[in-house]
Amino acid sequence: MQPTFSPEEINRINALKAYHILDSLPDSDYDAITDLASQICQTPISLISLIDDKRQWFKSNHGLDVRETPRELAFCTHALQNPLETFIVTDSRKDDRFAGNPLVTGEPHVIFYAGVPLVESNGFALGSLCVIDHEPKVLDEHQLSALKILAKQVVNLLELRKANHELRRNEERFQLMVSKLEEQVYERTRELEEVNKELAASNKELLKSNERLLQSNNSLQEFAYVASHDLKEPLRKIQSFSSMLSDQYGSVLEPSGLDILNRMKMAGERMSTLITDLLNLSRLSTQREVDIPVSLTALVNLVVTDLDGVISELGAQIELDPLPVVLGDSRQLRQLFQNLLSNALKFHKPSASPQIQIKAHWIAGENLPDGVQTRGKAIAYHCIDVIDNGIGFDVQYAERIFQVFQRLHGRKEYAGTGIGLAICDKVIKNHGGAIVATSQVGQGATFSVFLPV
């Protein structure tokens, strides 16, 4: 039948098990202590006895062949009842607690017993260091003192063993963690290598695609440039011959013939304008000057001078605020503002003179308005607004108007090729900026140009 233990005794047994010493192999350090205790106390037997729930087990058993005895027979269990005192039995035959004990009446004939409790750091008595004789005996003060010192050494060995055991467990846990970490690192590295291979292959294919696209774009731009250039020569002849025909034979032609001739001349002029705009658009990619500081104030004044005739004819008022100096291609930037001002003059209200404002302010890159997308990301941008009081347009077309050949009005109402704003968009993109338009029908329009500072 399993004995019932108090909570305190259960805690003591658990404390003993935490040392992982029960049933361990013999150890010379412990054997040296029992040998020395036997010599000092002049006894044939000396034991390091540890008490668990069923037995007393001997870590060292000097002068005794057995390694354990039943717990209920152990003198040591009595020694544990007062951990602070040495438990001494001078003659067990005269002690009612032990007189009938088989260890007294038979081997090993325990007549004298002196045991010092082995008290660990938490106050639990794990067992005892004891000396035994086959006859009555009394230890002097020096022997008892030495026995207590040796008991402390046993406790020190036990604590050292426990610490070493914990250290080994921590090392094992650490090695296990290292092993798992190495495995994870290896697996992750392998995965990354696979991903890198795939990325390298994708990048290689992307580079090839970009090269093919660049070659295609270059070829297309060169074709547009050459084709437009080559178209000008026969067009000049058509225009020249139509002028000659009008000058030399206009007087003999009927009105219907003159009308056809005039239509031919007007179509030739539209074709010439279209070819010129196509050449300008293709040159934006095939020709690029080195960036230089460009005064936008001076540049816009030159554009105003170029448009002086139209400005005077329409009675237009142009208000120009000081504009910044930017790095860029002066020819392309001049073309940009030439187109923007030409449009502001062209799309005026018939009932009102054009009023055009050109303003500039600075804006942080992180505060760019929604919808403004630039190729790069500058710390800040110059924002130049070209504001007119013209006919305006429906805001739903704000992005469409920057596409090639996109027109919102018929040719009879407003002349043009539908390329001007596409040129503006290309110029701005070449300079790492953006252009957006805001408007309402009948309320004028604002074109905002963003150029990196």
Q: Tens digit of pLDDT for each residue in 389-415?
A: 988 888 877 777 887 666 655 455 555
Please, what are the domains in the chain?
7-139 (3.30.450.40), 289-452 (3.30.565.10)
Q: pLDDT tens across 12-34, in order?
A: 999 999 999 999 999 999 999 99
pLDDT band, residue 64 (cuts 50/70/90): very high
368 DSSP assignment: P
Q: How many CA atoms lie within 13 A of 40 on its CB side?
A: 22
CA geometry: angle 110, 115, 119, nearest 5 deg: 150
**How sure is the predictor about 282, in pLDDT bands with cuts at 50, 70 and 90?**
low
Average pLDDT over residues 257-268: 73
The label of the residue with tokens 């590295």 reads 189
What sections of 48-140 are H helices per DSSP? 76-79, 102-105
Helices (H), 18-134: 28-41, 76-79, 102-105
Model pLDDT, residue 248: 77
Question: What H or E segment, with its residue span, contains residue 362?
Answer: strand 355-364
Instruction: Look at residues 51, 58, 54, 41 and name the one whose alpha carbon lies nearest to residue 108.
Output: 58
pTM metric for this prediction: 0.46
Contacts of 125 (CB under 8 A, 6+ apart): 12, 79, 80, 83, 117, 118, 119
Predicted local confidence at residue 421, as pLDDT: 85
Helix, strand or coil, per DSSP, at residue 81 = coil
Tell me the per-residue pLDDT of 177-232, one tens digit each, with 9 for 90 and over. Answer: 888 888 898 888 888 888 888 888 888 888 887 788 777 666 666 666 666 666 66
442 pLDDT tier (thresholds 50, 70, 90) = confident
Each residue's pLDDT tens digit, 304-324 = 999 999 999 999 999 999 999
- Averaged pLDDT for residues 73-83: 93
Alpha carbons 202 and 211: distance in angstroms, whole number: 14
In which order are the strands placed within the sheet that holds 434-439?
317-320, 355-364, 380-388, 445-452, 434-439
